[in-house]
Structure 1
Amino acid sequence: MKKSVFLVFGIVSLFFVNTAFAQFSRPVSVGVGAGGTLSLADLGNSDIRFAGHVDVDGLITPFISVGIHGEKGILSAYGWNSDFENRYYTLSGNVKVRLGQFLSLPDNYSNYTLRASILNQILANIYLGGGVGFIKNSIENSIDPNYVESISNMGGEITDDLNSENLVIPLNIGLDIPLGRSLYGPKWAINLNYQHSLLPKDNLDGVINKKNDQYSYLSLGVKMALFNR
């Protein structure tokens, strides 16, 4: 599964980066960030933990991008005299569409990026995104026998597969605050992003029940545009 995901991401990224090079001076950006995670799993009392990420994004238009997102962090929760900790990492591909794609902006993007007000530039860079990838779990848990019995009565189970690889579907809403101007767009950006990740398979905490697990990640980061003319 992991090799297939890497192969798909590589082909898609290569295609869009080549397309972007034909249109823009600065088609690729790299970003790093960090923030807090919150699990939405079977043990209901979630702790706020820490994660960090790296992004590589390529432009299709000035306001639509495709990218690769790598993330590593910790998820944990407790309840029913039980607890878990998951030191996970994910790799996913995504598409982001920014509000500027739908605003009445001039055809000359270079003129716009030099003359637009800070407020207009910020509004134009509010985005929604979605993607698909995999999550690699590394779970340690302590499950109370009474909770095991309760889960079993509801048709669930406690799994021994604590190092699984599962599909993950990240959904994003965020904002890039551009810093610095040039003919081809901002050189830097401050990024604020909320990511909500859906797991089609219920195994984020080692407890398999009727409701699939989810988690959220709120992060602050910085992006740098590459290949400046």
Structure 2
Amino acid sequence: MKKYLLSLSLLFIGMFSASAQFKYNMFAATLNVGANRANMDAGYGDVNFSIGFSGDVHITPFTFLSLNVNDGKFSKNKPDQYGRGFEADFTSFNSTVNMSLGEILRPWWKETYGFWNNLYLGAGIGVVKSKMNDFNYITNDGGGKFPSIGGVKYSGTNVIIPLNAGLNIKFVEYGDETPIELNVNYQHNIALTDNIDGYNPRYDNKYSDSFGLLTLGLRVNFGPQRTYYSWR
């Protein structure tokens, strides 16, 4: 009987020694700045400044739902080979679900600050609202075989599919985690329209308009704390 109890005790000790727990905040907010670049019918656009804000809800320390807003402009001031160019202000809103590698690797507490554990990918849905302040350039878009296009002053709201890749860089102070992090994020947004730049040619037009956002943000964790258990 004593041997049985001893074996059972050792089993429980082994089980609990193979787990770790730590606390994390339920919410986070990020203020970011960065650059955007349009990839539309006029080709790759100019690199323009953008500013944005994100609010996150943590499902676990490594999986979070994010609501994002970014503001900036799209432009191509140097016309492409067909004479196409444009400029438009935009504001994008989207929601994404993001998962870090730590969700798969199941790290110990000290390892939650590691580089790999905080790399994440995400996807979601949103809209982009754009408005041209002036008409885009008028072109024949490929010669006399094709009708003239351009001269459009487009304004509208369109659905986008955002795809995320990013990293939350955590800070440690005297062995304890601080609520402040740095966030680096690239978001590629695929629009379900071909009109944002005011061009919608009928030839050699395989893809919808898209644009990329590269941002650097200051991220603050706050709100109720939850306990996360990591098993090995």
Following superposition, the deviation at residue 25 of structure 1 comes to 5.5
AA in 1 matched with 2:52: H
Q: How far apart are the structure 1 equivalents of 2:165 and 2:150?
A: 34
Deviations 1:77-125 (A, max 9, x none): 132333201110011111000000000424xxxxx1xx3375x2x2111
More strand by share: 2
For the 8 Å contact 2:102–2:117, the answer to whether it is kept is: yes
State the partner residue of 1:213.
209
Q: 1:52 to 1:194 in 2, by over 3 A?
A: same
Secondary structure of 2:140's aligned partner: helix
Deviations 1:184-213 (A, max 9, x none): 965111011111100111112011133311
State the partner residue of 1:201.
193
AA in 2 matched with 1:41: M
The farther-off stretch of 40-49 and 199-208 is 40-49
Deviations 1:35-74 (A, max 9, x none): 1111111112521111111000001111100010001011
More helix by share: 1
Q: 1:85 to 1:222 in 2, by over 3 A?
A: same
For the 8 Å contact 1:26–1:185, the answer to whether it is kept is: no
For the 8 Å contact 1:159–1:207, the answer to whether it is kept is: no
TM-score computed with the length of structure 2 as normaliser: 0.75
State the partner residue of 1:43.
42
Q: Which runs of 5+ in 2 are unaligned?
A: 1-21, 226-232
Structure whose CA Rg is larger: 2
TM-score computed with the length of structure 1 as normaliser: 0.76
Mapping of 1:67-106 within 5 angstroms?
67-77=66-76, 78-79=79-80, 80-106=82-108
Q: Which runs of 5+ in 1 are unaligned?
A: 1-22, 107-111
Q: Percent identity?
A: 24
